[in-house]
Amino acid sequence: MGMAVGGKKGAALSDMNVVPLIDILLVLIIIFMVITPLTPKGLKALVPQPSPPDTKQQLELEQKTVVVQVLENDVLKINEDAADWATLGTRLNDIFKLRAEKVAFVKGDETVVFANVARAIDVMRASGVEKVGLITARLEAGQ
C-alpha cells in the first residue's frame, strides 16, 4: 500500500500498489500457456495399415478382423453377415467373448448419415470393444 501526501488540507491519500498483482498474473498466464498444449484433444483413431501380400497372413487377418458395415436404409453387416441394431451388441459380445485382442473396425457407405456410424461405434464400445478403427474408401483401395 502506498501513501501520498497532498490534496485538501494535507490529508493522506492511499493508493493500491498493483505491481505485485501484475507479477502474479503474468506468472499465471505463462503457466497456462505451458499447460495448454499438453491437454489431450480428440479421440485416438486406429487406421488399419495395408500388409504385404502374404496369403497365409492375409487369411489369418481376415479371420481375426471384425468389420461392422453400416449401409443404406439401416442395414448392418458384421463381416458380410447380416445384422440388425437390436442384436448388434449381443453378437459383438459373443464374438469378442474369447478374444484377448478386442479391436474392430467400422465401415460406412458414402450415403449413410454419420449419426448411424456414431451409433454403431457406441454399440461397439458398450459391448466391450476396446479399440474401434475406421475404414475409408481410400484405405480399402490401398492408398
Phi, psi at 50, each rounded to 5°: -65, 135
Asked if residue 15 is part of any domain, the answer here is: yes
pLDDT of residue 135: 84
CA distance 44 to 4: 61
Which grid cell is 99?
478374444
Residues of the domain holding 30: 2-38
The answer to whether residue 51 scores a pLDDT higher than 90 is no
68 domain residue, yes or no: yes
Asked whether the predicted pLDDT for residue 53 surpasses 90, the reply is: no
In this structure, is residue 48 part of a structural domain?
Answer: no
Identify whether residues 71 and 135 lie together within a single domain. Answer: yes
- As a whole-number percent, the residues of the chain with pLDDT over 70 amount to 73
CATH number, domain at 71? 3.30.420.270
Looking at residues 109-121, what average pLDDT do you find? 88
The sign of the dihedral angle between the CA atoms of 61, 116, 122, 49 is positive
Total domains in the chain come to 2
In the chain, what is the greatest distance between 2 CA atoms, to the nearest angstrom?
100
Q: Determine the pLDDT at residue 37.
A: 73
Residue corresponding to grid cell 442395414: 75
Bridge partner list, 108: 70
